[in-house]
Chains A and B, each alone.
Chain A
């Protein structure tokens, strides 16, 4: 890295570069110039004479040339640069239960929403704090309509994994060269990896304009990778309605407890999970029954595990187990979960993920319950009797 460049960089925030034509107006300027150029050129071809060369021909070519340059220099609609993709990857992996996700770019960050047949919804919000540079150039005339599209999440995650791949490759090469040393403590983080040394690598997300592909440009140690993701027309699914004003209960607890309870239920391979919250013991109970038997987890003597517990009346709903289970990745990475249910029976799980560097991100899951059936109630009462 050139030291002079670093100085320029260091002083750059104090004296921002101001282009003669503002960034926001570059497109319009370029467009008018091009129009003018084409018109003059047309006039010149109609009446070709020596006088018309300086009068029409030269301005036409100038207008065309300058217009084209400005057109190319017109800034992309959205551009964000991050120095590490780990957090982004970690967050997006939690909602990778569907193939396509809906992406919405806002001034505060990027919102990824995954939707599973309108009964489960997972939202990951990448705050602009996660990026070193974050620019969204909204054209004024469009009333600030936010760019939104759909992408294939699996492909996106795959592309993000390329970042750091050269490190892995280097490590692999080293392991092949020195089999003895690689057997020894190869689980340790390498002190000379690019990540530890802070050798700059950048991940740039680029969205040129509406309908263009989303580009991921990864640059590290002289290798530049550009992945273009096809963007699909947004489907604009409505969010699962969750009525914050009609909360039936609200629990905040360590997400590990929720993960533990689910892993207690999972071996019975159940199809549905019944969640009930009640003002007195057992406070919160998760139960399910499957082919191998039934299982239930309760917090009767574990009231202390629930950091916050507010409830009015008993709330019991059942959900598809596999859907709730697809949020386990989020439970693993998160530190706390806000566990809420509304009057309609919709369950909301909001996870707080603490990423490196002190920033917190949030993952939001919503589940639509099964319609309560009579035989369900029968089973429930039966279970209670046996208890």
Chain B
């Protein structure tokens, strides 16, 4: 039985390829979610710090679109596919200008995609590409029925925003060389916005593993279509790799890019629209703990939901589908924030961008994954998608249970009191406090033992 059937023109294939290529920079796997009115491709990266979603409107983007749905779930269908396979079959095909000069550039006549899932038959994602010269290629890819993980963004919280033309943004990003990790965006004064790219120096003994490099570009505020950042000199730091993937794709579409964010260590949303395509990205911003002038919010209880909903969903889908589904995974053991570096947090007043504390690529991450980060609650029944949220834990403490309650309270009160002269001192106390039960690997972070 065909659950979903749609047809793409050659332009559609190209647009889909661009989207997939962009998703490929986030994750190897891509989640497909089909509804009557739209087809959504999403990807969440392995460290769960970046999320990308492309939503194709069924009426505008496709030449034909028919969604049947499974008997158990008429509303939507979801599956996971290996992105490399998809990319290779939607790849750009070179035209044969010699044989067919007037249609030199155009190769694909039409592309039919169907998803079959039925008892007694193989469940396959079937792509049929008809070339103009008469050759027909048919691909059958296996897929895995598993619910997609959506990252949610709280718009009410994001009081800072700006919009800029994607071309301008692309040109800006072209100035930054390779091998850099972070991008710091902050408004300098009333008229300029600074884009600073930097890499933190990582040294192991005498060897310098990552070279510190700062590249700064000052942009006139006029370049932005709108720029509404309530707080002056708010440093917002994101990963360059993810940001670049976004700007590259946005430049293909040539539309306006809008960004919304609240504060460091809270997610940043980037959105832009194309013809029948809606692109949305959530990037975790690298934050500095207890930075002065920041209203730090404690994570709400909703941010750490139970995994039950997701497991139920997975179990239900396994009953309805014949495609292989993975066993319900245990809650992913994702590390929380790494142990903070010994770097003093004080020099906030200087021009130096904030040090990265959520440094996922750092070579000095704790090896022990005993902090279990509970997965997202997937409230699939909800139409509004408002509840299924994946939020980053913005708490600053390395491990709340391990740190004495008194110090936590002290920390909180210190932060609630806002920037104070004793703030950093308090923090340093809390950080340098070592529990007797601490792991050796953690203790090594502080350079107590040389091995």
Q: Judge if B82 is at the interface, Cβ distance under 8 Å.
A: yes
CB < 8 Å: which of B99, B133, B138 contacts A295?
B138
Write the A286-297 contact mask toward B (1 if CB under 8 angstroms, else 0).
Answer: 000100111111
Known: A254-B99, A292-B82, A292-B141. A297 touches B134 (CB 8 A): no
Report the stretch among A200-208, A240-248, A298-306 that lies at the interface. A298-306
Known: A267-B85, A292-B85. A302 touches B139 (CB 8 A): no
CB < 8 Å: which of B121, B130, B137, B141 contacts A301?
B130
Q: Which residues of A contact B139 (CB under 8 A)?
A: 268, 293-295
Write the B106-150 contact mask toward A (1 if CB under 8 angstroms, else 0).
Answer: 000000000000000110110000110111111111100000000
Rounded to whole angstroms, the CA-CA distance of A300 and B128 in the bound complex is 13
Write the A345-384 contact mask toward B (1 if CB under 8 angstroms, else 0).
Answer: 0000000000000000000000000000000000000000
The answer to whether A256 touches B96, judged by C-beta atoms less than 8 angstroms apart, is: yes
Q: Which residues of A contact B141 (CB under 8 A)?
A: 292-293
Q: Judge if A195 is at the interface, Cβ distance under 8 Å.
A: no
The answer to whether A302 touches B136, judged by C-beta atoms less than 8 angstroms apart, is: yes
The answer to whether B136 touches A300, judged by C-beta atoms less than 8 angstroms apart, is: yes
Q: Which residues of B contact A307 (CB under 8 A)?
A: none
Write the A241-266 contact mask toward B (1 if CB under 8 angstroms, else 0).
Answer: 00000000000001011001100100
The answer to whether B88 touches A302, judged by C-beta atoms less than 8 angstroms apart, is: no
Q: Which residues of A contact B85 (CB under 8 A)?
A: 267-268, 292-293
CB < 8 Å: which of A254, A293, A297, A301 contacts B140?
A293
Rounded to whole angstroms, the CA-CA distance of A294 and B140 in the bound complex is 5
Instruction: Assign chain B's interface to a size class.
Output: 20 to 34
Q: Judge if A386 is at the interface, Cβ distance under 8 Å.
A: yes
Q: Which residues of B contact A292 (CB under 8 A)?
A: 82, 84-85, 141
Which residue on chain B has the smallest CB distance to residue A289? B140
Which residue on chain B has the smallest CB distance to residue A292? B85
CB < 8 Å: which of A257, A296, A298 contacts B133?
A257
Rounded to whole angstroms, the CA-CA distance of A386 and B82 in the bound complex is 22
Which residue on chain A has the smallest CB distance to residue B84? A292
Rounded to whole angstroms, the CA-CA distance of A267 and B87 in the bound complex is 9
CB < 8 Å: which of A264, A293, A301, A386 contacts B142?
A293
Q: Judge if B89 is at the interface, Cβ distance under 8 Å.
A: yes
CB < 8 Å: which of A294, A302, A386 contacts B135?
A302
Known: A297-B136, A305-B135. A267 touches B89 (CB 8 A): yes
The answer to whether B134 touches A299, judged by C-beta atoms less than 8 angstroms apart, is: yes
Q: Which residues of B contact A294 (CB under 8 A)?
A: 139-140
Q: Which residues of B contact A261 (CB under 8 A)?
A: 135, 137
Rounded to whole angstroms, the CA-CA distance of A304 and B121 in the bound complex is 34
* Residues of B48-90 whose CB lies within 8 A of A: 82, 84-85, 88-89
Secondary structure type dominating chain A contacts? mixed
Known: A256-B96, A292-B85. A299 touches B135 (CB 8 A): yes
Which residue on chain B has the smallest CB distance to residue A284? B135
Rounded to whole angstroms, the CA-CA distance of A297 and B82 in the bound complex is 21
The answer to whether B134 touches A301, judged by C-beta atoms less than 8 angstroms apart, is: yes
Q: Which residues of B contact A297 (CB under 8 A)?
A: 135-138
Which residue on chain A has the smallest CB distance to residue B124? A293
Q: Which residues of A contact B125 (CB under 8 A)?
A: 293
Rounded to whole angstroms, the CA-CA distance of A294 and B126 in the bound complex is 10
* Residues of B87-104 whose CB lies within 8 A of A: 88-89, 91, 93, 96, 99
Rounded to whole angstroms, the CA-CA distance of A296 and B91 in the bound complex is 16
Tell me the smallest distance from the CB of B20 to a CB of chain A, in Å.
13
Rounded to whole angstroms, the CA-CA distance of A302 and B130 in the bound complex is 10
The answer to whether A257 touches B135, judged by C-beta atoms less than 8 angstroms apart, is: yes
Q: Which residues of A contact B140 (CB under 8 A)?
A: 289, 293-295
Rounded to whole angstroms, the CA-CA distance of A299 and B91 in the bound complex is 20
The answer to whether B82 touches A301, judged by C-beta atoms less than 8 angstroms apart, is: no
Rounded to whole angstroms, the CA-CA distance of A302 and B93 in the bound complex is 17
Tell me the smallest distance from the CB of A62 to a CB of chain B, in Å.
69
Most buried by B among A293, A302, A304: A293
Which residue on chain A has the smallest CB distance to residue B109? A301
Q: Which residues of B contact A289 (CB under 8 A)?
A: 140
Q: Which residues of B contact A303 (CB under 8 A)?
A: 134
Q: Which residues of A contact B89 (CB under 8 A)?
A: 267, 295
Known: A254-B99, A267-B89, A292-B141. A301 touches B84 (CB 8 A): no
Q: Which residues of A contact B99 (CB under 8 A)?
A: 254, 256
Known: A256-B96, A386-B121. A295 touches B134 (CB 8 A): no
Q: Which residues of B contact A268 (CB under 8 A)?
A: 85, 88, 139
Rounded to whole angstroms, the CA-CA distance of A301 and B129 in the bound complex is 12
Q: Which residues of A contact B93 (CB under 8 A)?
A: 260
Tell me the smallest distance from the CB of B431 to a CB of chain A, in Å.
47
Tell me the smallest distance from the CB of A331 to a CB of chain B, in Å.
14
The answer to whether B138 touches A296, judged by C-beta atoms less than 8 angstroms apart, is: yes
Rounded to whole angstroms, the CA-CA distance of A228 and B130 in the bound complex is 52
Tell me the smallest distance from the CB of A103 to a CB of chain B, in Å.
35
Q: Which residues of B contact A298 (CB under 8 A)?
A: 135-136, 138
The answer to whether B136 touches A301, judged by C-beta atoms less than 8 angstroms apart, is: yes
Tell me the smallest distance from the CB of B145 to a CB of chain A, in Å.
16
Which residue on chain B has the smallest CB distance to residue A290? B85
The 8 closest A-B pairs by CB, nearest first: A302-B134, A267-B88, A293-B141, A292-B85, A301-B134, A264-B137, A294-B140, A295-B139
A selection of 18 A-B contacts at a CB cut-off of 8 Å is A260-B93, A260-B135, A261-B135, A264-B135, A268-B139, A292-B82, A293-B124, A293-B125, A294-B140, A295-B89, A295-B138, A295-B140, A296-B138, A298-B136, A299-B135, A301-B136, A303-B134, A305-B134
Name 16 extra pairs, CB < 8 A, besides A264-B137, A267-B85: A256-B99, A257-B133, A257-B135, A260-B135, A261-B137, A268-B88, A268-B139, A292-B85, A295-B137, A295-B138, A297-B135, A298-B138, A299-B135, A300-B136, A302-B131, A302-B136
Which residues of B does A touch, CB under 8 Å? 82, 84-85, 88-89, 91, 93, 96, 99, 121-122, 124-125, 130-131, 133-142
